[in-house]
Amino acid sequence: MSDVTATQDMRQRLEPALRRIFHLYWRFARGMTLGVRGVVLDADNRVFLVKHSYISGWHLPGGGVEVGETFLDALARELIEEGRIEVVGEANLHGVFLNNHVSRRDHVAVFVIRQFRQDRLPEPNREIIACGFFAADGLPEGTTRGTRLRITEVLDGKAPLATWS
pTM for this entry: 0.81
- pLDDT score recorded for residue 105: 82
Question: 114 to each of 38, 61, 65, 90, 120, how far by Cα in Å?
Answer: 10, 14, 21, 8, 17
CB 40 within 8 A of CB 61: yes
Residue 125: other Cβ atoms inside 10 A: 10
| Mean pLDDT computed over 110-121 | 96
Predicted confidence at residue 60, as pLDDT, reads 98
Write down the pLDDT at residue 100: 83
Q: What is the pLDDT of residues 55-112, one digit of tens each?
A: 999 999 999 999 899 999 999 999 999 999 999 999 999 999 998 876 788 899 999 9
**Domains along the sequence of the chain with CATH:** 32-156 (3.90.79.10)
pLDDT at 97: 95
Residue 15: pLDDT band (50, 70, 90) is confident
pLDDT score at 3: 64
154: part of which helix (H) or strand (E)? helix 145-156
Confidence of residue 7 (pLDDT cuts 50, 70, 90): low
Give tens-digit pLDDT for 40-54: 999 999 999 999 998
- Cβ proximity of 32 and 47 under 8 Å: no
